[in-house]
Structure 1
């Protein structure tokens, strides 16, 4: 998985990698490896919330693992675009878009407005950015309105990002597949 290298001369949307995959596909490991290869400080933007004990334990485990690997962590469930703008000169890993989307939906925020702000903040970044998201559209149609809206919003967000960013990868069974690799002229 360490074969993916980000071009440090790419900035803004061209310097952004979108990593999609299913749960436990290896997408976060790939995303971390992409930025761990870079020297200097890097930021991990964590969007998950500890809604229960089990999730709290997962978050604590991830934070502990990152602390020893030289990551700075910002936990931000909603204002992700602001964090990206505040750290425009620092390589950033955002994990994950679908937890961020969940937070927006549960807080009854304007998903379209936040998505537009996310794209805007990515376009002004001066350092590489890696975004992680769960591909949730490969299964059956959910049985309730909120789950269907979540699936639809996630698909729309991923499509908007994939159309604009420089690189897109899909991970299955720990194997990365390049879906898009924009090579600037």
Structure 2
């Protein structure tokens, strides 16, 4: 399978933040932003794999700066690293005050997607070739994040095995 440059997966979209997108503080709903993050991440992963993909995990969505009503949000996603069938996707979110032109990095996120074949089973994905300094930095630190995710997933499975599936209304 031929390797692909990180830039081949690059996906970008912009959203104008309207009043119905915000909470009572006049800032973008975190959950709505997460929907956009997952969506643009899936586009980047699909571009890289040229297969259907599913979201396997979202490491975090780190809100660094509020996104206000009337501003725009630019989301940029790239595949930073791959394993056998999984892809790490980095999403960078920049807010822009449309009146002043001031731009700020407001959110970052790492997601993992798995490529799925026609039979619904995971399929191999191409390796990535980082080129820019930012791509190389993300690539070189990705395996550490992968191992952390793997350990966290095992902890989550262990934790979940101890939980009951009672119907809350029967307690």
The alignment's TM-score, normalised by the length of structure 2, stands at 0.25
Greater per-residue helix proportion: 1
Greater relative contact order, per chain length (Cα 8 Å cut-off, separation 6+): 1
* Structure number having the greater strand percentage: 2
Question: TM-score under structure 1 normalisation?
Answer: 0.23
